[in-house]
Chain A
Protein backbone atom coordinates (compact mmCIF):
# COMPACT_ATOMS: atom_id res chain seq x y z
CA UNK A 1 0.00 0.00 0.00
CA UNK A 2 2.77 2.38 1.04
CA UNK A 3 4.75 1.40 -2.07
CA UNK A 4 1.73 2.14 -4.25
CA UNK A 5 1.32 5.58 -2.65
CA UNK A 6 5.01 6.31 -3.20
CA UNK A 7 4.63 5.13 -6.81
CA UNK A 8 1.68 7.47 -7.40
CA UNK A 9 3.52 10.44 -5.88
CA UNK A 10 6.56 9.52 -7.96
CA UNK A 11 4.40 9.47 -11.10
CA UNK A 12 2.83 12.85 -10.30
CA UNK A 13 6.30 14.31 -9.85
CA UNK A 14 7.47 12.58 -13.02
CA UNK A 15 4.61 13.98 -15.13
CA UNK A 16 5.19 17.47 -13.69
CA UNK A 17 8.93 17.42 -14.51
CA UNK A 18 8.20 15.94 -17.93
CA UNK A 19 5.70 18.73 -18.67
CA UNK A 20 8.25 21.29 -17.53
CA UNK A 21 10.71 19.82 -20.05
CA UNK A 22 8.06 19.75 -22.80
CA UNK A 23 7.10 23.40 -22.20
CA UNK A 24 10.74 24.49 -21.98
CA UNK A 25 11.50 22.74 -25.25
CA UNK A 26 8.33 24.21 -26.81
CA UNK A 27 9.47 27.72 -25.92
CA UNK A 28 13.16 27.34 -26.75
CA UNK A 29 13.04 25.06 -29.78
CA UNK A 30 9.47 24.62 -30.99
CA UNK A 31 8.58 21.99 -33.54
CA UNK A 32 7.29 23.03 -36.95
CA UNK A 33 3.67 23.90 -37.69
CA UNK A 34 3.48 21.15 -40.32
CA UNK A 35 4.59 18.50 -37.79
CA UNK A 36 1.81 19.58 -35.40
CA UNK A 37 -0.79 19.63 -38.17
CA UNK A 38 0.37 16.22 -39.33
CA UNK A 39 -0.13 14.73 -35.84
CA UNK A 40 -3.43 16.56 -35.31
CA UNK A 41 -4.76 15.23 -38.60
CA UNK A 42 -3.60 11.66 -37.84
CA UNK A 43 -5.26 11.57 -34.40
CA UNK A 44 -8.43 13.27 -35.63
CA UNK A 45 -8.94 10.93 -38.57
CA UNK A 46 -8.17 7.93 -36.37
CA UNK A 47 -10.91 8.75 -33.86
CA UNK A 48 -13.48 10.91 -35.64
CA UNK A 49 -16.04 8.20 -36.42
CA UNK A 50 -15.86 6.51 -33.00
CA UNK A 51 -16.03 9.84 -31.15
CA UNK A 52 -19.01 10.98 -33.22
CA UNK A 53 -20.77 7.68 -32.56
CA UNK A 54 -19.98 7.76 -28.84
CA UNK A 55 -21.18 11.37 -28.63
CA UNK A 56 -24.42 10.54 -30.43
CA UNK A 57 -25.25 7.73 -28.02
CA UNK A 58 -24.25 9.73 -24.94
CA UNK A 59 -26.88 12.30 -25.94
CA UNK A 60 -29.37 9.54 -26.63
CA UNK A 61 -28.78 7.93 -23.21
CA UNK A 62 -29.18 11.26 -21.42
CA UNK A 63 -32.51 11.88 -23.16
CA UNK A 64 -33.81 8.42 -22.27
CA UNK A 65 -32.80 8.92 -18.63
CA UNK A 66 -34.34 12.39 -18.40
CA UNK A 67 -37.54 11.24 -20.12
CA UNK A 68 -38.20 8.80 -17.30
CA UNK A 69 -37.70 11.56 -14.70
CA UNK A 70 -39.44 14.56 -16.25
CA UNK A 71 -42.45 12.64 -17.61
CA UNK A 72 -43.46 11.89 -13.99
CA UNK A 73 -43.90 15.61 -13.44
CA UNK A 74 -45.48 16.30 -16.83
CA UNK A 75 -42.52 18.43 -17.77
CA UNK A 76 -41.50 16.80 -21.05
CA UNK A 77 -41.18 20.28 -22.56
CA UNK A 78 -38.02 20.76 -20.50
CA UNK A 79 -36.50 17.50 -21.73
CA UNK A 80 -34.35 19.04 -24.47
CA UNK A 81 -32.97 21.77 -22.20
CA UNK A 82 -32.17 19.46 -19.30
CA UNK A 83 -30.66 16.67 -21.41
CA UNK A 84 -28.56 19.08 -23.47
CA UNK A 85 -27.35 20.99 -20.41
CA UNK A 86 -26.38 17.79 -18.59
CA UNK A 87 -24.65 16.45 -21.66
CA UNK A 88 -22.70 19.59 -22.49
CA UNK A 89 -21.60 20.39 -18.96
CA UNK A 90 -20.88 17.00 -17.51
CA UNK A 91 -21.58 13.65 -19.07
CA UNK A 92 -20.57 14.40 -22.66
CA UNK A 93 -17.00 15.63 -22.05
CA UNK A 94 -16.42 12.93 -19.42
CA UNK A 95 -17.58 9.91 -21.41
CA UNK A 96 -16.02 11.06 -24.67
CA UNK A 97 -12.72 11.79 -22.89
CA UNK A 98 -12.81 8.26 -21.42
CA UNK A 99 -13.25 6.86 -24.89
CA UNK A 100 -10.41 8.98 -26.27
CA UNK A 101 -8.14 7.91 -23.42
CA UNK A 102 -8.66 4.32 -24.53
CA UNK A 103 -8.07 5.07 -28.19
CA UNK A 104 -5.70 8.04 -28.56
CA UNK A 105 -3.97 7.61 -25.19
CA UNK A 106 -3.33 3.89 -25.57
CA UNK A 107 -2.17 4.27 -29.18
CA UNK A 108 0.24 7.10 -28.37
CA UNK A 109 1.77 5.46 -25.30
CA UNK A 110 2.17 2.17 -27.22
CA UNK A 111 3.81 4.00 -30.14
CA UNK A 112 6.21 5.97 -27.92
CA UNK A 113 6.87 2.95 -25.69
CA UNK A 114 7.82 0.87 -28.72
CA UNK A 115 10.11 3.67 -29.89
CA UNK A 116 11.74 3.64 -26.45
CA UNK A 117 12.28 -0.11 -26.14
CA UNK A 118 13.54 -0.45 -29.73
CA UNK A 119 16.09 2.31 -28.98
CA UNK A 120 14.63 4.71 -31.57
CA UNK A 121 14.58 7.46 -28.92
CA UNK A 122 18.25 6.73 -28.10
CA UNK A 123 18.97 6.91 -31.83
CA UNK A 124 17.43 10.39 -32.02
CA UNK A 125 19.56 11.49 -29.03
CA UNK A 126 22.64 9.94 -30.60
CA UNK A 127 22.06 11.90 -33.80
CA UNK A 128 22.32 15.10 -31.77
CA UNK A 129 18.59 15.84 -31.98
CA UNK A 130 16.20 16.39 -29.06
CA UNK A 131 13.57 13.60 -28.81
CA UNK A 132 11.24 15.89 -26.83
CA UNK A 133 11.27 18.34 -29.73
CA UNK A 134 11.18 15.68 -32.43
CA UNK A 135 8.56 13.23 -31.19
CA UNK A 136 6.90 14.45 -27.98
CA UNK A 137 6.07 18.07 -28.75
CA UNK A 138 4.23 17.44 -32.06
CA UNK A 139 2.25 14.60 -30.47
CA UNK A 140 1.50 16.56 -27.29
CA UNK A 141 0.17 19.61 -29.14
CA UNK A 142 -1.49 17.42 -31.80
CA UNK A 143 -3.35 15.37 -29.17
CA UNK A 144 -4.55 18.50 -27.35
CA UNK A 145 -5.80 20.13 -30.55
CA UNK A 146 -7.41 17.01 -31.96
CA UNK A 147 -8.90 15.86 -28.64
CA UNK A 148 -10.39 19.31 -28.10
CA UNK A 149 -11.80 19.23 -31.64
CA UNK A 150 -13.05 15.64 -31.25
CA UNK A 151 -14.67 16.37 -27.88
CA UNK A 152 -16.43 19.37 -29.42
CA UNK A 153 -17.63 17.23 -32.35
CA UNK A 154 -18.72 14.59 -29.83
CA UNK A 155 -20.75 17.17 -27.89
CA UNK A 156 -22.37 18.43 -31.09
CA UNK A 157 -23.29 14.85 -32.03
CA UNK A 158 -24.66 14.25 -28.53
CA UNK A 159 -27.16 17.06 -29.08
CA UNK A 160 -28.31 15.36 -32.27
CA UNK A 161 -28.49 11.99 -30.49
CA UNK A 162 -30.58 13.55 -27.73
CA UNK A 163 -32.87 15.26 -30.24
CA UNK A 164 -33.44 12.04 -32.22
CA UNK A 165 -34.17 10.06 -29.06
CA UNK A 166 -36.52 12.84 -27.90
CA UNK A 167 -38.54 12.41 -31.06
CA UNK A 168 -38.40 8.60 -31.27
CA UNK A 169 -38.48 7.55 -27.59
CA UNK A 170 -40.24 10.43 -25.85
CA UNK A 171 -42.59 11.32 -28.69
CA UNK A 172 -42.03 15.09 -28.62
CA UNK A 173 -41.55 17.36 -31.61
CA UNK A 174 -38.30 19.06 -32.62
CA UNK A 175 -39.79 22.43 -31.67
CA UNK A 176 -40.73 21.18 -28.21
CA UNK A 177 -37.30 19.65 -27.68
CA UNK A 178 -35.33 22.76 -28.58
CA UNK A 179 -37.71 25.33 -27.05
CA UNK A 180 -36.09 25.50 -23.59
CA UNK A 181 -32.55 24.81 -24.64
CA UNK A 182 -31.61 28.54 -24.85
CA UNK A 183 -33.12 29.13 -21.36
CA UNK A 184 -31.40 26.24 -19.63
CA UNK A 185 -28.15 25.95 -21.58
CA UNK A 186 -26.40 29.23 -20.72
CA UNK A 187 -23.24 30.50 -22.42
CA UNK A 188 -21.44 29.65 -19.16
CA UNK A 189 -22.53 26.00 -19.58
CA UNK A 190 -21.08 25.93 -23.07
CA UNK A 191 -17.84 27.60 -21.96
CA UNK A 192 -17.61 25.21 -18.98
CA UNK A 193 -18.12 22.22 -21.30
CA UNK A 194 -15.48 23.45 -23.75
CA UNK A 195 -13.08 24.30 -20.91
CA UNK A 196 -13.51 20.76 -19.61
CA UNK A 197 -12.76 19.42 -23.09
CA UNK A 198 -9.50 21.38 -23.12
CA UNK A 199 -8.49 20.28 -19.60
CA UNK A 200 -9.28 16.62 -20.34
CA UNK A 201 -7.30 16.83 -23.58
CA UNK A 202 -4.33 18.25 -21.64
CA UNK A 203 -4.54 15.49 -19.00
CA UNK A 204 -4.75 12.83 -21.71
CA UNK A 205 -1.84 14.24 -23.74
CA UNK A 206 0.47 14.69 -20.77
CA UNK A 207 -0.11 11.23 -19.24
CA UNK A 208 0.09 9.22 -22.46
CA UNK A 209 3.25 10.94 -23.72
CA UNK A 210 4.92 10.64 -20.28
CA UNK A 211 4.08 6.96 -19.84
CA UNK A 212 5.06 6.03 -23.39
CA UNK A 213 8.30 8.01 -23.34
CA UNK A 214 9.39 6.43 -20.05
CA UNK A 215 8.45 2.82 -20.87
CA UNK A 216 11.12 0.26 -20.01
CA UNK A 217 11.68 -3.45 -20.39
CA UNK A 218 10.61 -4.68 -23.82
CA UNK A 219 7.11 -5.78 -24.85
CA UNK A 220 6.03 -6.21 -21.22
CA UNK A 221 7.09 -2.64 -20.47
CA UNK A 222 5.10 -1.30 -23.42
CA UNK A 223 2.05 -3.26 -22.23
CA UNK A 224 2.45 -1.82 -18.73
CA UNK A 225 2.78 1.70 -20.14
CA UNK A 226 -0.47 1.27 -22.08
CA UNK A 227 -2.37 -0.09 -19.07
CA UNK A 228 -0.95 2.66 -16.82
CA UNK A 229 -1.95 5.26 -19.40
CA UNK A 230 -5.55 4.00 -19.46
CA UNK A 231 -5.82 3.85 -15.66
CA UNK A 232 -4.04 7.11 -14.83
CA UNK A 233 -5.81 9.02 -17.60
CA UNK A 234 -9.21 7.97 -16.35
CA UNK A 235 -8.34 8.84 -12.76
CA UNK A 236 -6.80 12.13 -13.93
CA UNK A 237 -9.88 12.99 -15.99
CA UNK A 238 -12.27 12.28 -13.09
CA UNK A 239 -10.19 14.49 -10.76
CA UNK A 240 -9.94 17.19 -13.44
CA UNK A 241 -13.73 16.95 -13.89
CA UNK A 242 -14.26 17.55 -10.20
CA UNK A 243 -11.91 20.56 -10.21
CA UNK A 244 -13.37 22.08 -13.38
CA UNK A 245 -16.93 21.50 -12.14
CA UNK A 246 -16.09 23.39 -8.95
CA UNK A 247 -14.58 26.23 -11.01
CA UNK A 248 -17.60 26.18 -13.36
CA UNK A 249 -20.02 26.44 -10.44
CA UNK A 250 -18.12 29.38 -8.97
CA UNK A 251 -18.14 31.17 -12.33
CA UNK A 252 -21.85 30.41 -12.70
CA UNK A 253 -22.56 31.89 -9.26
CA UNK A 254 -20.66 35.03 -10.19
CA UNK A 255 -22.74 35.40 -13.35
CA UNK A 256 -26.03 34.81 -11.53
CA UNK A 257 -25.17 37.54 -9.00
Chain B
Protein backbone atom coordinates (compact mmCIF):
# COMPACT_ATOMS: atom_id res chain seq x y z
CA UNK B 1 0.00 0.00 0.00
CA UNK B 2 1.24 3.52 -0.83
CA UNK B 3 1.52 6.19 1.86
CA UNK B 4 -1.13 8.89 1.55
CA UNK B 5 0.14 10.85 4.55
CA UNK B 6 3.70 10.65 5.76
CA UNK B 7 5.40 12.48 8.63
CA UNK B 8 9.21 12.66 8.60
CA UNK B 9 10.85 13.88 11.83
CA UNK B 10 8.12 16.41 12.44
CA UNK B 11 8.41 18.71 15.42
CA UNK B 12 5.88 21.33 16.46
CA UNK B 13 6.68 24.10 18.93
CA UNK B 14 4.72 27.09 20.11
CA UNK B 15 7.33 29.71 21.03
CA UNK B 16 9.51 27.84 23.56
CA UNK B 17 7.14 24.92 24.22
CA UNK B 18 7.70 21.75 22.22
CA UNK B 19 4.30 20.09 21.82
CA UNK B 20 5.20 17.31 19.36
CA UNK B 21 8.70 15.94 18.91
CA UNK B 22 10.23 13.77 16.24
CA UNK B 23 6.99 12.35 14.84
CA UNK B 24 7.39 9.69 12.14
CA UNK B 25 4.54 7.66 10.71
CA UNK B 26 2.68 6.75 7.53
CA UNK B 27 -1.02 6.43 6.76
CA UNK B 28 -1.96 4.32 3.76
CA UNK B 29 -4.56 4.88 1.09
CA UNK B 30 -8.04 3.80 2.14
CA UNK B 31 -6.97 3.32 5.75
CA UNK B 32 -9.06 4.32 8.79
CA UNK B 33 -6.56 5.74 11.26
CA UNK B 34 -7.74 6.78 14.73
CA UNK B 35 -5.84 9.04 17.11
CA UNK B 36 -6.50 8.81 20.82
CA UNK B 37 -4.86 10.47 23.81
CA UNK B 38 -5.41 12.72 26.79
CA UNK B 39 -6.66 16.28 26.23
CA UNK B 40 -4.07 18.95 25.54
CA UNK B 41 -1.40 16.53 24.30
CA UNK B 42 -1.56 17.74 20.68
CA UNK B 43 -4.00 15.46 18.82
CA UNK B 44 -5.81 18.37 17.16
CA UNK B 45 -2.48 20.04 16.39
CA UNK B 46 -1.31 16.82 14.72
CA UNK B 47 -4.51 16.74 12.66
CA UNK B 48 -4.12 20.40 11.70
CA UNK B 49 -0.53 19.69 10.62
CA UNK B 50 -1.80 16.91 8.34
CA UNK B 51 -4.55 19.19 7.01
CA UNK B 52 -2.04 21.95 6.16
CA UNK B 53 -3.57 24.46 8.56
CA UNK B 54 -0.43 24.58 10.72
CA UNK B 55 3.16 24.55 9.49
CA UNK B 56 5.56 22.26 11.36
CA UNK B 57 8.50 23.86 13.18
CA UNK B 58 10.76 21.12 11.79
CA UNK B 59 10.48 18.08 9.53
CA UNK B 60 8.49 17.16 6.45
CA UNK B 61 4.83 16.33 5.86
CA UNK B 62 4.22 14.45 2.63
CA UNK B 63 0.76 14.15 1.12
CA UNK B 64 0.70 11.55 -1.65
CA UNK B 65 4.48 11.88 -1.83
CA UNK B 66 4.53 15.69 -2.16
CA UNK B 67 6.09 17.88 0.52
CA UNK B 68 3.23 20.14 1.53
CA UNK B 69 5.40 23.04 2.71
CA UNK B 70 8.10 22.81 0.09
CA UNK B 71 6.23 23.17 -3.17
CA UNK B 72 4.73 25.90 -5.36
CA UNK B 73 1.63 27.66 -3.93
CA UNK B 74 -0.54 26.22 -6.72
CA UNK B 75 0.68 22.69 -5.95
CA UNK B 76 -0.03 23.26 -2.26
CA UNK B 77 -3.54 24.38 -3.11
CA UNK B 78 -4.00 21.27 -5.23
CA UNK B 79 -2.91 19.15 -2.24
CA UNK B 80 -5.24 21.02 0.12
CA UNK B 81 -8.14 20.34 -2.22
CA UNK B 82 -7.54 16.62 -1.87
CA UNK B 83 -8.42 16.91 1.82
CA UNK B 84 -11.55 17.66 3.78
CA UNK B 85 -11.99 18.26 7.48
CA UNK B 86 -14.72 18.10 10.08
CA UNK B 87 -13.70 20.40 12.94
CA UNK B 88 -14.23 19.64 16.60
CA UNK B 89 -16.80 22.45 16.94
CA UNK B 90 -17.86 22.01 13.32
CA UNK B 91 -16.62 25.51 12.26
CA UNK B 92 -19.74 26.08 10.21
CA UNK B 93 -20.17 29.47 8.55
CA UNK B 94 -22.96 30.86 10.71
CA UNK B 95 -23.92 33.62 8.28
CA UNK B 96 -24.61 31.05 5.53
CA UNK B 97 -27.51 28.61 5.30
CA UNK B 98 -27.02 24.84 5.44
CA UNK B 99 -27.09 24.68 1.63
CA UNK B 100 -24.70 27.61 1.24
CA UNK B 101 -22.25 26.02 3.70
CA UNK B 102 -21.96 22.95 1.48
CA UNK B 103 -21.91 25.07 -1.69
CA UNK B 104 -19.14 27.35 -0.33
CA UNK B 105 -16.12 25.17 -1.23
CA UNK B 106 -17.56 24.36 -4.66
CA UNK B 107 -18.26 28.04 -5.40
CA UNK B 108 -14.81 29.11 -4.22
CA UNK B 109 -12.69 26.35 -5.65
CA UNK B 110 -14.37 24.72 -8.62
CA UNK B 111 -15.60 26.07 -11.94
CA UNK B 112 -18.92 24.24 -11.65
CA UNK B 113 -22.10 25.97 -12.80
CA UNK B 114 -24.63 27.07 -10.17
CA UNK B 115 -27.01 24.38 -11.41
CA UNK B 116 -24.38 21.67 -10.92
CA UNK B 117 -23.48 23.05 -7.48
CA UNK B 118 -27.13 22.96 -6.36
CA UNK B 119 -27.40 19.39 -7.59
CA UNK B 120 -24.26 18.39 -5.65
CA UNK B 121 -25.43 20.23 -2.52
CA UNK B 122 -28.70 18.28 -2.56
CA UNK B 123 -26.82 15.03 -3.16
CA UNK B 124 -24.48 15.51 -0.18
CA UNK B 125 -27.23 16.73 2.14
CA UNK B 126 -29.29 13.69 1.13
CA UNK B 127 -26.27 11.47 1.89
CA UNK B 128 -26.05 12.83 5.43
CA UNK B 129 -29.83 12.91 5.76
CA UNK B 130 -30.41 16.63 6.39
CA UNK B 131 -31.79 17.74 3.02
CA UNK B 132 -34.91 19.02 4.79
CA UNK B 133 -32.73 21.67 6.55
CA UNK B 134 -31.39 23.12 3.27
CA UNK B 135 -32.65 26.66 3.90
CA UNK B 136 -31.99 26.79 7.66
CA UNK B 137 -29.00 28.43 9.35
CA UNK B 138 -26.52 26.33 11.39
CA UNK B 139 -27.74 27.72 14.71
CA UNK B 140 -31.29 26.61 13.86
CA UNK B 141 -30.40 22.90 13.69
CA UNK B 142 -29.43 20.36 16.39
CA UNK B 143 -25.88 19.35 17.37
CA UNK B 144 -26.16 16.06 15.51
CA UNK B 145 -27.39 17.81 12.38
CA UNK B 146 -24.53 20.30 12.66
CA UNK B 147 -22.09 17.37 12.67
CA UNK B 148 -23.80 15.94 9.60
CA UNK B 149 -23.59 19.33 7.92
CA UNK B 150 -19.88 19.55 8.80
CA UNK B 151 -19.38 16.13 7.22
CA UNK B 152 -21.30 17.15 4.08
CA UNK B 153 -19.14 20.27 3.74
CA UNK B 154 -15.95 18.26 4.27
CA UNK B 155 -17.07 15.93 1.46
CA UNK B 156 -18.13 18.71 -0.91
CA UNK B 157 -14.91 18.67 -2.94
CA UNK B 158 -14.92 14.86 -2.92
CA UNK B 159 -11.53 14.65 -1.18
CA UNK B 160 -9.48 11.48 -0.95
CA UNK B 161 -8.40 12.19 2.64
CA UNK B 162 -10.87 13.25 5.31
CA UNK B 163 -9.98 14.40 8.82
CA UNK B 164 -12.50 14.10 11.64
CA UNK B 165 -11.62 16.04 14.78
CA UNK B 166 -13.66 14.38 17.53
CA UNK B 167 -16.76 13.74 15.40
CA UNK B 168 -18.81 12.47 18.34
CA UNK B 169 -17.95 15.22 20.84
CA UNK B 170 -20.98 16.45 22.72
CA UNK B 171 -23.39 13.97 21.13
CA UNK B 172 -25.58 11.41 22.87
CA UNK B 173 -24.53 7.73 22.48
CA UNK B 174 -27.15 6.93 19.83
CA UNK B 175 -26.36 9.99 17.70
CA UNK B 176 -22.62 9.27 18.17
CA UNK B 177 -23.08 5.78 16.83
CA UNK B 178 -25.16 7.05 13.91
CA UNK B 179 -22.47 9.62 13.04
CA UNK B 180 -19.73 6.97 13.12
CA UNK B 181 -21.80 4.64 10.95
CA UNK B 182 -22.36 7.52 8.53
CA UNK B 183 -18.59 8.20 8.44
CA UNK B 184 -17.87 4.51 7.75
CA UNK B 185 -20.56 4.26 5.05
CA UNK B 186 -19.24 7.36 3.27
CA UNK B 187 -15.66 6.07 3.58
CA UNK B 188 -16.71 2.86 1.86
CA UNK B 189 -18.66 4.66 -0.86
CA UNK B 190 -15.90 7.16 -1.64
CA UNK B 191 -12.98 4.81 -0.88
CA UNK B 192 -11.33 7.63 1.06
CA UNK B 193 -8.63 7.62 3.72
CA UNK B 194 -9.93 8.77 7.08
CA UNK B 195 -8.00 10.07 10.03
CA UNK B 196 -10.10 10.64 13.12
CA UNK B 197 -9.60 11.81 16.68
CA UNK B 198 -11.85 10.46 19.37
CA UNK B 199 -11.70 9.81 23.08
CA UNK B 200 -14.72 7.53 22.98
CA UNK B 201 -13.01 4.13 22.95
CA UNK B 202 -16.09 2.26 21.70
CA UNK B 203 -16.35 4.57 18.70
CA UNK B 204 -12.57 4.36 18.21
CA UNK B 205 -12.73 0.55 18.05
CA UNK B 206 -15.73 0.78 15.71
CA UNK B 207 -13.86 3.04 13.28
CA UNK B 208 -10.22 2.06 13.35
CA UNK B 209 -8.09 -0.10 11.08
CA UNK B 210 -5.11 1.19 13.03
CA UNK B 211 -4.76 3.35 16.11
CA UNK B 212 -2.15 5.65 17.66
CA UNK B 213 -1.90 7.54 20.91
CA UNK B 214 -0.50 11.05 21.31
CA UNK B 215 1.13 11.51 24.70
CA UNK B 216 4.13 13.40 26.12
CA UNK B 217 4.85 14.86 22.68
CA UNK B 218 5.23 11.38 21.15
CA UNK B 219 3.06 9.34 18.82
CA UNK B 220 2.73 5.72 19.92
CA UNK B 221 1.42 3.56 17.09
CA UNK B 222 -0.65 1.04 19.00
CA UNK B 223 -1.68 -1.09 16.01
CA UNK B 224 -5.09 -2.49 15.15
CA UNK B 225 -7.94 -2.75 17.65
CA UNK B 226 -6.78 -6.09 19.08
CA UNK B 227 -3.15 -4.94 19.37
CA UNK B 228 -4.23 -1.69 21.02
CA UNK B 229 -6.31 -3.58 23.58
CA UNK B 230 -3.30 -5.79 24.38
CA UNK B 231 -0.72 -2.96 24.35
CA UNK B 232 1.88 -3.08 27.10
CA UNK B 233 2.69 0.64 27.45
CA UNK B 234 1.23 1.64 30.86
CA UNK B 235 0.09 5.01 29.45
CA UNK B 236 -1.92 3.27 26.72
CA UNK B 237 -3.32 0.77 29.22
CA UNK B 238 -4.38 3.52 31.62
CA UNK B 239 -5.96 5.62 28.87
CA UNK B 240 -7.98 2.92 27.10
CA UNK B 241 -9.32 1.53 30.37
CA UNK B 242 -9.83 4.95 31.94
CA UNK B 243 -7.96 4.09 35.17
CA UNK B 244 -7.66 6.96 37.61
CA UNK B 245 -4.20 5.94 38.82
CA UNK B 246 -1.22 5.54 36.52
CA UNK B 247 1.50 7.44 34.66
CA UNK B 248 -0.94 9.83 32.94
CA UNK B 249 -2.22 11.14 36.27
CA UNK B 250 1.07 10.97 38.13
CA UNK B 251 1.12 14.69 38.88
CA UNK B 252 -2.56 15.21 39.47
CA UNK B 253 -4.66 15.29 42.62
CA UNK B 254 -6.26 11.93 41.82
CA UNK B 255 -2.99 10.07 42.08
CA UNK B 256 -1.72 12.11 45.01
Could you tell me which A residues sit within 8 Å of B by CB distance?
118-120, 122-123, 125-129, 134
**Chain B residues with Cβ under 8 A from A120's Cβ?**
91-94
Q: How far apart are the CA atoms of A81 and B81 in the complex, in Å? A: 62
Residue pair B91, A125 in contact (C-beta under 8 Å): no
B109 located at the interface, meaning its Cβ lies under 8 Å from any Cβ of chain A in the complex: yes
The number of chain B residues with a CB under 8 A from chain A is 23
Count CB-based A-B contacts (< 8 Å).
50
**Chain A residues with Cβ under 8 A from B108's Cβ?**
127-129, 134
**Chain A residues with Cβ under 8 A from B153's Cβ?**
123
B189 CB to closest chain A CB (Å) equals 21
For residue A133, which residue of chain B has the nearest CB?
B108
B157 located at the interface, meaning its Cβ lies under 8 Å from any Cβ of chain A in the complex: yes
B185 CB to closest chain A CB (Å) equals 23
Residue pair B80, A128 in contact (C-beta under 8 Å): yes
Residue pair B77, A128 in contact (C-beta under 8 Å): yes
A155 CB to closest chain B CB (Å) equals 32
A45 CB to closest chain B CB (Å) equals 15
Residue pair B93, A126 in contact (C-beta under 8 Å): no
**Chain B residues with Cβ under 8 A from A128's Cβ?**
77, 80-81, 105, 108-109, 157
Q: How far apart are the CA atoms of A95 and B239 in the complex, in Å? A: 59
**Chain A residues with Cβ under 8 A from B77's Cβ?**
128
Residue pair B109, A126 in contact (C-beta under 8 Å): no
A102 CB to closest chain B CB (Å) equals 22
The B84-114 residues at the A interface (CB cut-off 8 A) are: 84-85, 87-89, 91-94, 104-105, 108-109
Q: Which of B29-37, B48-56, B173-181, B229-237 touches A?
A: B48-56
Q: How far apart are the CA atoms of A143 and B77 in the complex, in Å? A: 29
Residue pair B89, A119 in contact (C-beta under 8 Å): yes
